[in-house]
Structure 1
Amino acid sequence: MRPGAAVRAALSSLILICALSAGGCASLGATSASSAAGDSHRTLAAILDEPGLAGTRWGMMAMTLDGQVLVDIRADDRFSPASNTKIFTTAAAFALLQDPGDPDPMDGTSVRLEARGEGRAPDAVLMGAGDPALGDGPDCVADCLAALADATAARTTRVGDVVGDDRLYPDERRGPGWAWEDMQEGFGTAVSALTVNDNIVVLQVSPVQTAGAPVQAAWRAGDDLLPLVNTAVTVAVGETDLRVERRPGEDVVRLYGQMPTGSDAVALRVGLDDPALTAALRFRRLLEARGVTVEGTVRARHRPLELSDDPTRGDSLPPVDQPDGVEVARLARPPLLASLNRTARFSQNLHAELLLRRLGRLDGTGARAEGLAQVEAVMATAGLERAAFDLYDGSGLSAYNRISPRATTTFLVWTSRQPWGEAWRATLPVAGQAGTLLRRFAGTPLEGRVFAKTGSLNGVNALAGFLTAASGRTVAFSIYANDRPSTADPALEAMDLALLTLAAAH
């Protein structure tokens, strides 16, 4: 979006006035400061009412940490927060779990040998522990599946079946309101207590020299776990436009689209449907590479969702864990802080969902609803009205999620008063410097002065967090753009201009 001339002129004048004053707009006299605030509201209205964004529904709230309201634009309307949902999931983790910088006391992924009868080789069972960091591949240096394979090969030379067991949490691979077309994408991969390599596989694609010929497409080493149909072609001219399709209920991945000759190779991240089964396939390969004979099949064990997983029934209790067989080895989990940083700073959806289920395991079964009950309890402690929000997942992928700008901003102010508030804020993206804000606000007065969570879905943009205003005061804010027509301009530039205006005026 290119802002209108009136918007650019008003914003330039406001920033210039504040820059020339001794301490920003706060150093102006009371009358001038009031005038600047009025100018900022008029400028905000002009920015958000830009004709190129006609049809977009905006909401915005900003307040100082002592509760002074600076901006109130439809602050009590409810909006889709997209990945702003992670604000509440990660803050709940800081509030309810142990210090995330300490070694994680929760059990790590393990392998067990389960007897199958006299003379038969035992099954090798990979027991998922909800660890988001478990890895497989030559670059893995800690929390690696290979270490479990080494320990198994040291114990036995024969196994029956190789089993991926993710029964720590109920089998809820995706949340209510998730778009079916996101299932094939890396950001929409299935959730499982047995997670390896973020539950994705990578397809590497490059053009050939002959126009009309199929592109070269191959799975990354170790990722050849799904059937591939390649119908993408090389073209003489044009832009790279590659897409993948994996239909619901099918494993086959179809690559289609085009790549011009001489273009750079690309890597496409493809989500999985049954991560526990895929983990077992990876584990079988590792065992066989170490000389272990696998006499049986590869399979997964899941725990179906039950009524007892519903916290509203009042009879939700963690299942009694009575694993069979003998434990061969168990990995130590890395500190939770690394996963929290990825969740907030880089908007890692899978890690957010695993975190939600971990919260649900505190007093319940590890179900999604149990985790949401913990998050909602923290939000209630922060003073949020229950009618101001509805959350259905931990990541923000659900189209059903709703929250008001006032509720989000009130929650942010509350976090700033908690003993863990500063550490939590440090996990957020930083304007022009880190995470999903790396390319936003660069070269502006707000570079390095905004700590905020981004969010985006189809027709939705969101940003909420903290900024340092021209006066030096910290301001908590939330701004939402919903229902943006597909023909409208992008909303991010208007959103960023609004925050620059806010910061300059205060």
Structure 2
Amino acid sequence: MMGSLLLPLLLAGAPVEAPLPPAVAEALAKAPPGTRIGLVVVDPEGREIVALRPDERFIPASNTKLFTTAAAFATLDVASPDMRGGATVRLEGQGTPTVILAGHGDARLSSAPDCRVDCLGELAAAVARRTGVVGDVVGDDTAFPDERWPQGMSWNNMDGAYGTGISALTLDDNVATLTVTPATPGAPPRVVGDGYYRIGNAATTGEAGSAKTLSVERMPGSDLLRLTGSLAVGATPVVLKLGVDDPAHRAAWRFTQLLRAAGVTVRGRITVRHRPLSEADDPVRRGGVPVATAAPVPVLASLTPPPLAEDLHQTNKTSQNLHAELLLRRLGASGSVADGHAVVDAVLARAGIARVTYDFADGAGMSNYNRVTPRTTVALLRWAETQPWGAGWRATFPVAATDGTLARRFVGTPLAGRLTAKTGTLNAANALAGTMIAASGRTLTFAAYANDMPGDASATPAIDAALVAIAAAN
């Protein structure tokens, strides 16, 4: 077993760079011109086989999720039913009561018609059993401060599923779905949504075989979707997944629909309760004073989601941004990003990782402010091997040519099914870090980062080819 005392030595005592084997240098030379690549590969004894820019800091993209999910495994009870995160409903006031739908960080609450577990419909049924008439319906996400998007995230990502708003009251992944079906040539395509967004349809149906140029845009803060471009007649309908600016409002809006479907008359408005970010949400500004715990509020009904381990599996396998951000907020007492990062820092300190080797502005990797060195990621991976939760954490990583975000990579190579790693893709950034079984049968640990590709070209083929070459030579 490798103890944590070895890790500072790994970071500080290893050579600055190790010579690149010719086959590896040849593979990396095919990356787009100007690409900056960092690569560290370590054998089971901790010796570095490859060390290219090992201590330079790179944008890690979704490799950020490695650090968030490791902290979750290290500090949260991920194996038991989620007793803390489930949504609740309560009634306030006499006569015609106000309905308060409150979230507490659960990422999996569903309003799908075929929902079987963690279903919003159960809370609507509970209200219907108590009363047939209600006033306002309030979406309450005050369990977390209002930090809906991370610092450093590109604003143009906000209108899509990858950049949807983050809220303690999350429903259906905070995504609205729109289906666009071609009509007759020259006519606008048919657009079907759920009614949450207004639709401005300026798109057309093109001739058979014409190129698809359909696009949808929504300015931040607006409820108007603008469709432009063309979709060929006879083409497969296009399903668009759209981000939501105010998830608590959308959840309350959808809950209102379910209440009415359950026979409840809703006489009031759909409103929200948010909690502004304050000094109490920052562990530095509050000087280490513990966060005061509010007295429990009596509820009419509550949900208990499945264990967080299931969600962690989805988060890393599919690189689910929203779920990773909610995990970060659940790490700390206040539900703030700063408190979550304080927990990540504490876990990495236990791993012997120096604070100067990384910076994180979010939990998922959408922020361009994130930075990490290849050696730091390798150190985390190797330290986790010594932890009781390490095997469970590694089992959440995608497997080459098999599943998740690696299902289509390394197909037909010796690393198919023999490389387990977390991917990462962002503007001018590619990442891959994990373990691979080399030709010798030994397990190598690696972290590969590419930044600064011109025109947002991909360096993924070059990284993959380099790893195949390393595995073949070892």
Q: What TM bracket, shorter-length normalisation?
A: over 0.9
Shift of 1:67: 0.8
Give 1:170's aligned residue.
Answer: 145
Does structure 1 residue 103 correspond to structure 2 residue 81?
Answer: yes
Shift of 1:366: 0.9
Task: Name which of 20, 38, 59 aligns with 1:59.
Answer: 38
Q: 1:65 to 1:96 in 2, by over 3 A?
A: farther
Question: Is the Cα contact below 8 Å between 2:427 and 2:456 reproduced in 1?
Answer: no
Question: Is the Cα contact below 8 Å between 1:308 and 1:315 reproduced in 2?
Answer: no
Give 2:255's aligned residue.
Answer: 283
Q: Secondary structure at the match of 1:72?
A: strand
Task: Name which of 170, 192, 215 aligns with 1:243.
Answer: 215
Unpaired runs of at least 5, structure 2: 1-17
- CA RMSD across the alignment: 1.5
Give 2:67's aligned residue.
Answer: 88
Q: 1:412 to 1:66 in 2, by over 3 A?
A: same
CA distance in 1 between partners of 2:19 and 2:168 (Å): 52
CA distance in 2 between partners of 1:179 and 1:500 (Å): 33
- Write the deviation string for residues 5-26 of structure 1: whole angstroms up to 9, x where unpaired: xxxxxxxxxxxxxxxxxxxxxx
Aligned partner letter, 2:58? F
Runs of at least 4 residues off by over 6 Å: none
Aligned partner letter, 1:104? D
CA distance in 2 between partners of 1:303 and 1:188 (Å): 21
TM-score norm. by structure 2 comes to 0.93
Task: Name which of 21, 25, 29 aligns with 1:49.
Answer: 29
CA distance in 1 between partners of 2:322 and 2:402 (Å): 24
Give 2:463's aligned residue.
Answer: 495
CA distance in 2 between partners of 1:400 and 1:183 (Å): 17
Shift of 1:137: 1.9
Does structure 1 residue 312 correspond to structure 2 residue 284?
Answer: yes
Give 2:201's aligned residue.
Answer: 230
Shift of 1:215: 1.2
Shift of 1:322: 4.3
Does structure 1 residue 209 correspond to structure 2 residue 164?
Answer: no
Question: Is the Cα contact below 8 Å between 1:169 and 1:357 reproduced in 2?
Answer: yes
CA distance in 1 between partners of 2:116 and 2:218 (Å): 31
CA distance in 1 between partners of 2:461 and 2:284 (Å): 42
Q: 1:433 to 1:193 in 2, by over 3 A?
A: same
Does structure 1 residue 112 correspond to structure 2 residue 84?
Answer: no
Task: Name which of 378, 400, 421 aligns with 2:390.
Answer: 421
Task: Name which of 129, 132, 149 aligns with 1:157.
Answer: 132
Q: Secondary structure at the match of 2:392?
A: helix
Question: Is the Cα contact below 8 Å between 1:136 and 1:144 reproduced in 2?
Answer: yes
Give 1:16's aligned residue.
Answer: none
Give 1:380's aligned residue.
Answer: 349
- Write the deviation string for residues 77-101 of structure 1: whole angstroms up to 9, x where unpaired: 1000000000000011111111x23
CA distance in 2 between partners of 1:66 and 1:417 (Å): 13
Shift of 1:264: 1.0
Q: 1:298 to 1:39 in 2, by over 3 A?
A: closer
Q: Secondary structure at the match of 2:228?
A: strand
Give 1:321's aligned residue.
Answer: 294
Q: 1:49 to 1:114 in 2, by over 3 A?
A: same
Shift of 1:315: 4.8
CA distance in 2 between partners of 1:66 and 1:155 (Å): 64
Give 2:338's aligned residue.
Answer: 369
CA distance in 2 between partners of 1:61 and 1:335 (Å): 34
Does structure 1 residue 123 correspond to structure 2 residue 98?
Answer: yes
Question: Is the Cα contact below 8 Å between 2:98 and 2:137 reproduced in 1?
Answer: yes
CA distance in 1 between partners of 2:268 and 2:80 (Å): 40
Q: Secondary structure at the match of 2:176?
A: strand
Q: Secondary structure at the match of 1:333?
A: coil
Question: Is the Cα contact below 8 Å between 1:184 and 1:270 reproduced in 2?
Answer: yes
Aligned partner letter, 1:215? P
Aligned partner letter, 1:204? T
Question: Is the Cα contact below 8 Å between 1:205 and 1:265 reproduced in 2?
Answer: yes
Task: Name which of 309, 320, 324 aligns with 1:352.
Answer: 324
- Write the deviation string for residues 63-122 of structure 1: whole angstroms up to 9, x where unpaired: 023211110001111000000000000011111111x2322232521100001x5xx301
Percentage of pairs with the same residue: 50
Aligned partner letter, 2:192? A
- Write the deviation string for residues 26-73 of structure 1: whole angstroms up to 9, x where unpaired: xxxxxxxxxxxx9961121122122x6111111100102321111000
- Write the deviation string for residues 329-388 of structure 1: whole angstroms up to 9, x where unpaired: 111121111110111000000000000000012xxx110110011011111111111111
Q: Secondary structure at the match of 2:253?
A: helix
Shift of 1:138: 0.8
Q: Highest CA radius of gyration, 1 or 2?
A: 1
Does structure 1 residue 293 correspond to structure 2 residue 272?
Answer: no
Q: How does 1:391-406 map to 2 (within 5 A)?
A: 391-406=360-375
- Write the deviation string for residues 391-435 of structure 1: whole angstroms up to 9, x where unpaired: 111000000000010111111111111111111100000000010
Shift of 1:244: 1.7
CA distance in 1 between partners of 2:273 and 2:199 (Å): 25
Task: Name which of 427, 430, 455 aligns with 1:458.
Answer: 427
Give 2:415's aligned residue.
Answer: 446
Q: How does 1:10-21 map to 2 (within 5 A)?
A: none
Aligned partner letter, 2:204? V
Q: Secondary structure at the match of 2:439?
A: coil
Aligned partner letter, 1:494? A
CA distance in 1 between partners of 2:288 and 2:20 (Å): 53
CA distance in 2 between partners of 1:322 and 1:185 (Å): 37
